[in-house]
Structures are given as structure tokens and as C-alpha cells.
Structure 1
Amino acid sequence: NWRKNRRPHKGSKFVGTDCNRNYDVFWESGPSKTQRNTYKGERPFSEPETRAMRNILDSLSPNLLFFLSLHSYGQSIMYPWGYCRDPPHHWRELHTLATSGRSAIKTYNGREYRTGSISCLTKRTIAGSVVDYVYGVLKAPMALVMELPSRELGFQPPVEMISQIGHESWFGIREMCKSAFDLRRRI
């Protein structure tokens, strides 16, 4: 199960950086050993992928209402913070937003997604994540991560499941976009 990019590291036989640990938000507390599957990189934004995302997100940030990062796997919809267990300022609205996606998916096909903060649902802290960067640094009012199904399927679901996962995800995403629009005046 590969989760890192493929960029080699000088002086190491290990390859890759976890791009979702490479953002400049509490980056220093992330894993610093290149052999780790969640290696944070040599410095914040050391990877071309995260620099490209940073540039796009920075340009959009003045008008960004809602940001959603899709990941596999975990079957959950989570909000900040990943780097600590403290609740974010607008956690009630973020929870409402996540719950709207969960409810839409359950109505669509009965699949249950968990909702909550990243650090609480994963039972660990995660430094340098894109969601914490967008919410904490860029100050987007709403930022979530959606972990697609499921532990049994792993990082690469079988080909025959991709369409089903895409459809259920779309139902959740569409509802969260509607909810974000409705919640915009409360944040």
C-alpha cells in the first residue's frame, strides 16, 4: 500500500514523501525518517506536488468557502484539527457539514461513514496536512477530508467497486456543497 510520491531522497534507499504531511502547518512535528510511510519531507513544501497545490490554493483563498480533500481509505468525513485534539473555532458548523455528507451517502446506499475531527477519529495527531493548512493558514471557513471506503478494501479498491464508490461519494459531496452554501452566513 503506497501512499507517498516517488521522488528519491539523496543518501537514502527509501523513496517518497507523504504529500499530506508536507504542508507548512505544524510540519515540524511530523515523521522525519525517510523509511516511514508518512515521511513529512525535508522541509515544508519540499515536494513539487505540494508546491503546486499551495500556489493554486493561495490564489483561490480570498474566495474559498469550502475545501474538500479526498483520500482513501477510512470511510469517514473529518474536519480539523489533525495536528492537535483541540476543537476548531466553528466545530459545530463543520460537524453539521460533515454530517450532511454522511446522511446523503447513507440515504443513497446505506453505507455508514464516521464523522468527527481528524485527530479524534484517527486516534493520533497528523502534522502538515492540507486540510489543516487550508483551514488554519488560508482561513477557509470550511475544510474537510473525506476518506473513501473502507478498511477492508485498502488504498486501492477493486476495479468493480470504483464506480459505486464514485457515485456514493458524489452524493455526499453534492450535499456538503449545498450545506456549505447554507452555512456560509454562520461562519
Structure 2
Amino acid sequence: MGNYVDIEGFDISGTGRIGLASGGAHMSFKNNLVHDLTISGGCTGGGGAGILTNGKLGNVVIDSNVVRNIGAQMSGSCNKVQGIYISNANNIVSNNLVSGVAAVGIHQWHGATASTIVNNKVFGNMAGILLGQGDAGATSAGSANNYVANNTVYDNTTYGIYEFGKVGGNNRYVDNLVSSSKKNYRVKGSVTDSGAGK
């Protein structure tokens, strides 16, 4: 897929592994419903995601989407299927509703860094929000300069918000409401929250 493309207002479901994916830069995914992906072939190295940013390019906006029941039948037994999966730099993830995901609701990995993750509601997944780098594309600096704010994260089986893999500095967690997960936070970045348990 090319650069400067907007994907808006689609209803995506079925047996596939990926709902929506970006291969370019300066794209947007807005007001889409991505739901009930059953991940044909099961839990494999092929992974899966409701919405995916892929490749070396970034600057993608993922806003006001509903992502639910992504590999839900594998919940708790598969760590490779994500809700929103960010694998490159300078992306904005905002105002999304993410639930019923086999692994992580909003997941950074590969070369993801400098993400803005704000005003999302993330619940009922194995984990809520993960920041970090690993595998192909990871950098020596790790995931850094991320801003995670005003998210509501609750009722996730393991972590609410956590860091994993290669993590750099200047990661800020501001005014998130994080509750009712086995552990609400596991981060080294700066946390200034009004309604969270660490």
C-alpha cells in the first residue's frame, strides 16, 4: 500500500490473520470496525492483528476504531495475536476501543518508537498496552520518547500497561486510569497518574 492513503469506515471480520495493515507512511485508519478475526491456522509465527503498521515507514494515525475479538478463542494461550500492532516510528493511536484480544490490546514491537497513545479504552485482553522493541527492526536505542496519556485500561488478565524488550528513555505515562489487571503497571518510564495502581 502506498503513502498518503486514508482507510475509513470499513467493517472487517473473517478468518484472516490481519484486519487492516499499512505498508506506507502518512496513512490513517479512522472509524473502522475490525472484529471477530478467527486467525486461520491458529497460533503460529505468522502472528495476527486487527490493525497493523508494517515496514520501516511510520507516521500513521489510528483513530476512533473499534477493534474487538481478535483471536479471542485463543485468549491466554497465544502471545502472537494483537489488537493494534505498531512496528515503526512516529505513529498516533487515539480514541480507539480495543477488547477481547488474544494477547495485547495495543502493542509496540520491532522498530516502534516515539508513539503517541492517547484517549483509548483497552480492556478484556491478555494485556492492555505494551511498549518495547524486539526482533527485526529493533534499534540500539530501544523504544523511546513515547507519550501514553488519558487511556482507560482495565480487566486485562496480566498487565495493564507494561514495558518489555528493548526500551529507551523519555517514556511518559500521564493521567491514565489503570485498574483491575493482575498488575496494573510494569514500567521504568515516568508515571504521573491520577487514577492508577502501580
Same fold by TM-score, threshold 0.5 exceeded?
no
Structure showing the higher strand proportion among its residues: 2
Q: TM-score, normalised by structure 1?
A: 0.28
Structure showing the higher helix proportion among its residues: 1
Structure with max Cα Rg:
1
